[in-house]
Amino acid sequence: MSARPFRILGVQQIAVGARDKQALRRLWVDLLGLELKGSFRSEAENVEEDIASIGAGPFAVEVDLMQPIDPEARPRVHDPPLNHVGLWVDDLAAAVDWLTGQGVRFAPGGIRKGAAGYDVCFLHPKGNDAAPISGEGVLIELVQAPPEVLAAHAR
């Protein structure tokens, strides 16, 4: 196996889903005290979400509170309720190239702009014959770390 040309720097986000995000908002924002930072809606991704945050500065972690626009459509952002985990990566393009060469299966869509404005891509939760390595049942988002996160981790 060749040397890994990237580093995972930390958790960027966790994304949880429900048919109605109001129950999630009551728990995460009203009761647990996370700060509501924004919202995001995408018909193509069948998602309406509130973006909450815990922690400060470049080490803050997003908690995305998601509900489907159409509960019967795909993707089903509420099933499973722990939808995905996002990880900061220092070089997303290098990570995707190297992991692909190692047999990792990625979800369709390739590298693209995510809800928070960073480049992202997703490791598929299930492998297949062509790419047998997967998230082992978990959808994993790789997120290109912005300069302030890279600098914070370099210190």
Q: Which pLDDT tens digit goes with each residue over 22-45? A: 999 999 999 999 999 999 999 999
List CB contacts of 5: < 8 A, sequence separation 6 or more: 91, 94, 95, 97, 98
- pTM of the model as a whole: 0.91
Q: Is 1's pLDDT higher than 80?
A: no
pLDDT at 141: 97
Q: From CA 30, how far away is CA 44, in angstroms rounded?
A: 29
Share of the chain above pLDDT 70, in %: 99
Q: From CA 89, how far away is CA 8, in angstroms rounded?
A: 5
Query: The tokens of 113 are what?
Result: 């702009």
Domain boundaries, the chain: 8-154
Long-range contacts of 148-155 (CB under 8 A, 24+ apart): 148/57, 148/58, 149/9, 149/58, 149/88, 150/9, 150/90, 151/58, 152/57, 152/58, 152/59, 153/9, 153/10, 153/58, 153/88, 153/90
pLDDT bin (cut points 50, 70, 90) of residue 53 is very high
What is the four-CA torsion angle of 122, 112, 73, 100, rounded to 10 degrees? -30
Fold of 8-154: 2,3-Dihydroxybiphenyl 1,2-Dioxygenase; domain 1 (3.10.180)
Q: How many CB atoms lie within 10 A of CB 40?
A: 16
Share of the chain above pLDDT 90, in %: 94
**68-124 residue pLDDT tens:** 999 999 999 999 999 999 999 999 999 999 999 999 999 999 999 998 899 999 999
